[in-house]
């Protein structure tokens, strides 16, 4: 994230953008002192109102004439640097981004800054979605079109047990799990909310549009998890980033103690359990009792495996 900030914020930072907006209005002949002040207030930092207008009007930034006419002939543009193009080309090599069919025009001859194989992920399951499969791509884009255009879907898929299902539904959200490396569709029929892994979809067909204002989501059975966070080693920042895709509320109890309430679907329980345990003593589960029991069971299971591995190693060494 910090690399992104350097590439896309520092090169064309706040001053670049606000002055470009000022010059664009000046080129149209509609820049006034009041409008100059408004643009700086809206697009720059609060303290910039003291520096930017003064620099432009005094001529220390020789970009405007006495009557706010521009000294340049054309509106300013913000062309991408070679480094920015290489960064974008690297992102477009990601097979997940390719699912959205982004426009790569102008980057054909650009060498990517890095390639997908540059990174080795050790905290992600290896059986992610088949992003290169033509059938998967076709279904994904049909589902994406349905979500964007507010259209109903006829969809055929198989469940985790292998049973085949065919439903007519209202798709309302696509989700991505970084831990599982899978996309899933949340779609409602007349009775319930269906959570469908995209890799299990065999066929989908676009149907008629629906009115989103008249769409009522069936009651979704969300579970609630209450955590206590002891803010050590940037714990708050790491936890909020790690659980960013969950609906949550955060309340500060004292200087270094926070209560975080997460709401999650039953499908996410195993992933959520693993993530919570990865924070160790920094994160304490307060409720519900069922989740606390899952934590204890997982810890006991891991400890038993640790003891078994230790006994095996000691027996081998003898």
Residue 5 has pLDDT above 70, yes or no: no
Residue 166 has pLDDT above 80, yes or no: yes
Q: What DSSP assignment string belongs to 98-132?
A: HTT----TT-TTPPPSS-GGG---SSS-S----TT
Residue 1: pLDDT band (50, 70, 90) is very low
Residue 309 has pLDDT above 80, yes or no: no
Spatial distance between the Cα atoms of 268 and 246, rounded to a whole number of angstroms: 10
What is the arithmetic mean of pLDDT over 65-77? Answer: 79
Going 152 to 157 to 161 to 163, the CA torsion angle's sign is: positive
Would you state the pLDDT for residue 144?
Answer: 93
Residue 266 has pLDDT above 80, yes or no: no
Residue 25: pLDDT band (50, 70, 90) is confident
Q: Please state the φ and ψ torsions of residue 139, each to the nearest 5 degrees.
A: -65, -40
- Residue % of the chain over a pLDDT of 90: 16
Spatial distance between the Cα atoms of 289 and 286, rounded to a whole number of angstroms: 8
Would you state the pLDDT for residue 221?
Answer: 62
What is the arithmetic mean of pLDDT over 58-85? Answer: 82
Burial of 112 (0-12, 13-18, 19+ CB in 10 A): middle
Consecutive H or E run containing 194: strand 193-197
Residue 12 has pLDDT above 80, yes or no: no
Spatial distance between the Cα atoms of 264 and 179, rounded to a whole number of angstroms: 15
Spatial distance between the Cα atoms of 182 and 174, rounded to a whole number of angstroms: 11
What is the arithmetic mean of pLDDT over 14-39? Answer: 82
Residue 2: pLDDT band (50, 70, 90) is very low
Would you state the pLDDT for residue 111?
Answer: 93
pLDDT tens-digit profile of 122-152? 767 778 889 989 999 999 999 999 999 999 9
The runs of H, that is alpha helices, within 112-254 are: 134-149, 235-242
CB 94 within 8 A of CB 116: yes
- Residue % of the chain over a pLDDT of 70: 90
Residue 242 has pLDDT above 80, yes or no: no
- Name the nearest CA neighbour of 179 among 276, 45, 62, 69: 276
Q: What are the Cα distances from residue 206, in Å, to 63, 134, 203?
A: 53, 18, 10
- Name the nearest CA neighbour of 151 among 164, 168, 135: 168
Residue 211 has pLDDT above 90, yes or no: no
Collapsing DSSP to helix, strand or coil, 189 comes out as: coil
Q: Look up residue 220 and give its two tokens.
A: 């979704």
Rg (CA), the chain: 27
What is the arithmetic mean of pLDDT over 67-71? Answer: 80
Q: What are the Cα distances from residue 8, in Å, to 84, 92, 299?
A: 7, 16, 43
């Amino acid at each position: 994230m910090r690399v992104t900030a350097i590439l896309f914020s520092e090169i064309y930072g706040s001053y670049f953008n606000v002055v470009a907006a000022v010059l664009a209005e000046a080129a149209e002949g509609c820049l006034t002192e009041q409008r100059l002040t408004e643009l700086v207030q809206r697009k720059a930092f609060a303290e910039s109102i003291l520096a930017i207008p003064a620099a432009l009007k005094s001529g220390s930034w020789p970009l405007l004439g006495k009557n706010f006419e521009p000294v340049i002939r054309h509106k300013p543009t913000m062309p991408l640097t070679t480094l920015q193009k290489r960064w974008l080309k690297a992102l477009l090599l990601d097979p997940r981004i390719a699912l959205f069919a982004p426009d790569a025009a102008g980057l054909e001859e650009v060498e990517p800054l890095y390639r997908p194989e540059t990174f080795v992920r050790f905290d992600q399951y290896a059986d992610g979605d088949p992003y290169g499969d033509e059938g998967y791509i076709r279904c994904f884009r049909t589902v994406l079109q349905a979500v964007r255009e507010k259209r109903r879907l006829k969809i055929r898929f198989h469940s985790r047990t292998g049973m085949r299902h065919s439903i007519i539904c209202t798709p309302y959200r696509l989700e991505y799990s970084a831990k599982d490396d899978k996309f899933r569709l949340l779609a409602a029929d007349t009775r319930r909310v269906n959570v469908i892994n995209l890799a299990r979809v065999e066929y989908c067909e676009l149907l008629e549009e629906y009115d989103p204002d008249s769409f009522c989501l069936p009651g979704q059975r969300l579970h609630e998890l209450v955590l206590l966070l002891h803010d050590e080693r940037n714990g708050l920042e790491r936890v909020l980033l790690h659980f960013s895709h969950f609906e949550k509320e955060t309340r500060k109890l004292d200087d270094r103690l926070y209560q975080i309430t997460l709401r999650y679907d039953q499908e996410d329980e195993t992933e959520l359990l693993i993530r919570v345990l990865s924070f160790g003593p920094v994160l304490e589960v307060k409720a519900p009792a069922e989740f606390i029991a899952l934590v204890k069971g997982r810890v006991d299971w891991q400890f038993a495996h640790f003891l078994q591995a230790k006994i095996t190693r000691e027996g081998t060494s003898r």
